[in-house]
Amino acid sequence: MIAFDPLSSEERVRIVDLHPEVGDLRAEAIEGLRRSEKALPCKYFYDALGARLFEAVTELPEYYPTRTELGIMSRAVHEMAESIGPHATLVEFGSGVGLKTQRLLDALIEPSGCVLIDISRAALEASAYQLADRYDEMEVIAVCADYTQPLRLPRPHRPSSRTVAYFPGSTIGNFTRDEAISFLGRVADLVGQGGGLLVGIDRKKDPELIEAAYNDALGVTAAFNLNILRRLNQNGASFDLGTFRHHAPYVESEGRIEMRLVSKVDQSVRIGGAEFGLSAGEHIVTEHSHKYDLKQFGQMASAAGFRLTRQWSDERDWFSVCFLEAEAA
């Protein structure tokens, strides 16, 4: 058994700033709107208002993913911790203060440390100190970086049995299949041979159930979607939000929800010096949300150097939390 010496207060929180490139909303929007199928980058949903709207979305009766994943965590978190093992380093892609992350950390046996990776330094610092206060014997390392790009992990001061990443919330569904495999491959390199990844995936099911989750009766998801146009208007654009409507169909051939903003009229919009025409009924894609079956996801994991070793699902198989282990190169 590994004997841990107490950490000093200076050792309990470490901030590592890799100075990631922050995207240019206006430039990326112009590039996306020049495509044959117009698109906007979903990463720009999450300003302060967007984050609050998404929190409201997760509490809607139609939006099953969050509460279903939390239910799985409640029932199976100790089995997940058993699969991870004692004295592991947990790597969380995001700021790490969510309920799911806390439930996992509560169940882990003497983790050697927790590494948070996020592009926002302010969010990271706040989260790191909050976690350090909650887990006063665990080192928290906050890495300001873009986790979609290759990077090297700092090591905790205490010895670690293995490195396991955590990617909850079915966020992996926002990537295309090729992007998801590339991301999983980078995670496999990050955790190294013998490391692991605990990841949430939304399962394929009745399209009506899926569509209802992204087209709620109260219109909260619509407000969340339209918020990206409001952000663009703050950056020199001329969108009239009243001339767009939210629409999120399930495209069965692609196995995904496509979040769209549909122009109600023929119109012209400007972003800085660039001008774009939209016909009535033409749409702008703002997000993809892919749904998987276990066989398909296992094949993707295998292509990236992982092996799907365990999975936990709800009783209706609407959602799964999968444990992947990195194989030898």
Nearest to 65 by CA among 260, 290, 217: 290
> In angstroms, rounded to a whole number, what is the distance separating the alpha carbons of residues 98 and 118?
14
Structural contact between residues 221 and 228, judged by C-beta atoms closer than 8 angstroms? no
Given a cut of 70, is residue 7 above it in pLDDT? no
- In angstroms, how far is CA 22 from the centroid of its own chain? 17
Mean pLDDT for 300-327 is 98
Given a cut of 60, is residue 1 above it in pLDDT? no
Whole-number pLDDT of residue 5 = 61
Mean pLDDT for 98-119 is 93
Class of domain 62-205+292-326: alpha beta
Full strand arrangement of the beta sheet holding 89-93: 13-17, 139-144, 113-118, 89-93, 163-167, 196-202, 319-326, 306-313
pLDDT band of residue 2 (cuts 50, 70, 90) is: low
User: For the chain, which residues make up each domain, given as ranges?
Assistant: 25-61+207-290, 62-205+292-326
Nearest to 118 by CA among 148, 98, 88: 148
For 152-179, what is each residue's pLDDT tens digit? 999 999 999 999 999 999 999 999 999 9
User: Given phi > 0 = left and psi -120 to 50 = alpha, else beta, which region is 283?
Assistant: beta
What does pTM read for this prediction? 0.93
Whole-number pLDDT of residue 123 = 87
Whole-number pLDDT of residue 103 = 94
Cβ of 310: how many Cβ atoms within 10 Å? Answer: 16
Packing angle of the helix pair 121-134, 99-107 (nearest 10 deg): 40
